[in-house]
Amino acid sequence: MDFDVGKVDLNCEKNNTAHKTNDISVNRLIVRRGQSFLVTFELHDLSRPTTDLLELMVETGPQPSEALGTRSVFGLPEGCGKGSSWKVKVHQGSVLLAGSITLDITSPADAPVGEYSLSVKTSATASVGSSLGKLLLLFNPWCKEDWVHLPEEEERQEYVMREQGLVYKGSDKYISSMAWNFGQFEDDIVDICLKLLDVNPKCLSDPAKDFSARCNPIYVSRVVSAMINANDDRGVLMGRWDGRYDGGMSPTHWNGSVEVLRRWLKNGSNPVKYGQCWVFAAVMCTVLRCLGIPCRVVSNFQSAHDTDKNLIIDDFFSDYGVRPKQSPDSVWNYHVWVEAWMRRPDLSAGSLYDGWQVVDPTPQEKSTDVYCCGPAPVKAILQGHVDLKYDVPFVFAEVNADRVTWMVFADGSKKKISTDSVSVGQNISTKAVGSDKRVDITANYKHAEGTEKERAVYNQAVKRVNIPEENSNGIHDGKPGVSMKIVELTKPVSGKDIDLKLILNSNDSETRTLVINVNVQAMRYTGIPSSQIQTELKELKLLPNQDLTIPIHIPFSVYGEKMRESNSIKVSAVVTDNDKSEAVYITEKDLVPESPSLTIKAIGSELQYSEMTAEVVFENPLSEGLRNCFITVTGSGLLTEAMEVRMPLLKQGQRLRVKMPFTPYRPGPKKLVAGFNCDQFRDIKASCNVYIKPVTGVVPPLRR
């Protein structure tokens, strides 16, 4: 060991503040690539000129090598270490006469991210360097040379630094938002993110190559996409969509990523039970933001799942109104994924496909034999360039597939009823920069429905995936003899009866005898029925040029229990014309009952390290008591773990008001999130914004 080096100061607080990682820690060195940082150490022997050899070395991963970019030797005089992309110079403020030297070290903007060891040799004869310590290197959206560079500071604050966000759910006509705590700066999350990379199958099979490839955000985002789900690796979350969540939590339980990631680590890198698309996406957003890749959560309503890659979704109805079979294809009420910001020089010499990329960790289809999706350039999806990697055809279908409706008869035969080229891909939504407003980004993914440009792009995409043109019919020809629609009479609210009406109108000059099947089903958000609610059969006369109105009443006593594991109610009407046996008409409406009101507010000074109070209020809307009630409150930067209050019974009309003390420990914009559960209602959510003002010169109290 070379003993020329004495006390080492990694200047963690100063460096981390400059690199915008001080929210993660000020006790360990965490820096961003392409940006300089300072290291100070004592020199016991000052007899030699400082221009003598001072050789530094950084290494990451197993079997580090300069050829793989996981080892670099560099030093003084400046430029020493031939071919090295790491640089060092003596810092301007360094005072050699005081017996110490401060070095200004800069990593390359394309260095692999992860943990490095840093050492120094202060003489040419030394065989081993003296350790200066460890550093964590992250992607750098502030650095122009980094592939993840994001030009606007306001967007960097939103898509890298913001610890809270909103996830949009519901259906295209009933969009609601759910607050989510990403918590990427909470204690130990950065280590969990690195652990996630270390146990990915590519790393386990060839660790040296994997650590080297971590220089590339395209590679890293793809690995993270695969590792958030546990379908073919030691991933974070096990997905489940059948409503049975034994041995784990319902996906609707989660309010944030931190508890999920910590459970995964505590479980020995075994999957946490259970997740669905919004949980997968939000946890992925946490990991990418923590590593320094700008990203945002995106919700697509009427989202198609195209299993056979023909850009067409087949819907099947029986002649009595229900969906008799689960088609391999489906249309989800909504689907949630992540957009990550990066350059794509692998696809184009220019910047044609740079910018937002879809990365989707929900395990739907395999991509090169792994359950992952993306990064798929949003610009490629807009132009129908479905022959590009990764998974562009699948995402294109999610936002712009055509739907074909088939009638299946008792003998197994089927008849094509209609083709719909409009409804898939509605109100694609993400949270606005700097506010809680919803931004519609549908125009980023496709041209306006009904335009020639949209059809031209769709037809080009069909040709690129080599589907015969006769399978890509556009709009169904011919005016139907009977038009019909389902209209709401009351706003659907969980806990109350729902009233609608079916209106039929004949375009014919003759009276028609119609057999009308009205069917009501509880639906999972994936477009799959979970249970039958009610059905009604009528035979009625429809007079020429007159409306026929049929009331539809759905009591809460009938639908309430069946909605606990469902997202929506689908009301379908199938009408058969007795006078024209070939004439069949279908209409349907999706309802998402609004949850009863839950409110939360923060009371107090909104000052770092000062005690505040969260007040949560819920009133029982039912004519019966609510059993086994409990309220949870979470909030990154506000409380380190969830607080919970239980109440065995909440009587009819009774109001529950709960106050919980907390001490905010991190300044900036934060969000308190509350959840209410009972036997009758599942996972009602509410949130409020809190802006915590910083306090300097105060010793932090113990977190609680």
> What 3-state DSSP class applies to 417?
strand
Q: The tokens 């017996």 sit on which residue?
A: 99
Which has the minimum average pLDDT: 88-102, 201-215, 252-266?
A: 88-102
Average pLDDT over residues 622-644: 91
Q: pLDDT tens digit string along 141-159?
A: 999 999 999 999 999 999 9
Give the pLDDT of residue 259.
Answer: 94
Fold of 482-591: Immunoglobulin-like (2.60.40)
Asked if pLDDT for residue 410 goes beyond 90, the answer is no
| Range(s) of the chain covered by CATH 2.60.40.10 | 5-138, 482-591, 598-692
Asked if pLDDT for residue 516 goes beyond 60, the answer is yes
Say which residues have a Cβ less than 8 Å from residue 502's Cβ, sequence separation at least 6: 484, 485, 486, 487, 516, 518, 549, 550, 552, 573, 587
Asked if pLDDT for residue 401 goes beyond 70, the answer is yes
352 confidence band (pLDDT: 50, 70, 90): very high
Q: Which residues are catalytic?
A: 277, 335, 360
Report the C-alpha gap between 427 and 9 in whole angstroms: 52
Out of 212-226, 489-503, 646-660, give the one with best mean pLDDT. 212-226
Q: Does 499 appear as a known binding residue?
A: no
Asked if pLDDT for residue 615 goes beyond 90, the answer is yes
Contact 124, 2 (CB under 8 A): no
H-helix or E-strand spanning residue 506: strand 498-506
Q: Which residue has the higher pLDDT, 68 or 416?
A: 68
Which has the minimum average pLDDT: 120-134, 467-481, 515-529, 660-674?
A: 467-481
Contact 618, 655 (CB under 8 A): yes
Give the pLDDT of residue 342.
Answer: 98
Name the average pLDDT for the chain: 89
34 confidence band (pLDDT: 50, 70, 90): very high
Which has the minimum average pLDDT: 120-124, 290-294, 521-525?
A: 120-124
Q: Which of 421, 535, 520 is nearest to 472 (CA)?
A: 421
Q: Does 454 appear as a known binding residue?
A: yes
Give the pLDDT of residue 471.
Answer: 41
Average pLDDT over residues 279-307: 96
Average pLDDT over residues 431-436: 96
Report the DSSP beta bridge partners of residue 598: 618
Give the pLDDT of residue 358.
Answer: 98
Report the C-alpha gap between 190 and 568 in whole angstroms: 37
Helix residue spans in 497-610 (DSSP H): 556-559
Give the pLDDT of residue 480.
Answer: 63
Q: The domain 153-465: what is its CATH number?
A: 3.90.260.10
CATH of 5-138, one of 2.60.40.10, 3.30.1330.60, 3.90.550.10, 1.20.1070.10: 2.60.40.10
Neighbouring CB atoms inside 10 A of 242's CB total: 10
Report the C-alpha gap between 687 and 700 in whole angstroms: 26
What percent of the chain shows pLDDT beyond 70? 90
Give the pLDDT of residue 256.
Answer: 93
Neighbouring CB atoms inside 10 A of 241's CB total: 16
Give the pLDDT of residue 86.
Answer: 94
Asked if pLDDT for residue 166 goes beyond 90, the answer is yes
Q: Does 588 appear as a known binding residue?
A: no
Asked if pLDDT for residue 702 goes beyond 90, the answer is no
Contact 588, 572 (CB under 8 A): yes
Q: Which residue has the higher pLDDT, 387 or 326?
A: 387
Asked if pLDDT for residue 408 goes beyond 60, the answer is yes
581 confidence band (pLDDT: 50, 70, 90): low
Average pLDDT over residues 645-657: 92
Give the pLDDT of residue 78.
Answer: 63
For β-strands 612-619 and 598-603, DSSP reports them as: antiparallel
- CATH 2.60.200.20 holds for 598-692: no
Q: Does 402 appear as a known binding residue?
A: yes
Average pLDDT over residues 386-404: 93
Q: Report angle CA 474, 477, 482 to the nearest 5 degrees.
A: 130
Q: Which residue has the higher pLDDT, 507 or 531?
A: 531
Average pLDDT over residues 369-385: 94
Give the pLDDT of residue 192.
Answer: 97
Average pLDDT over residues 385-394: 93
Average pLDDT over residues 408-428: 85
Give the pLDDT of residue 474.
Answer: 37
127 confidence band (pLDDT: 50, 70, 90): low
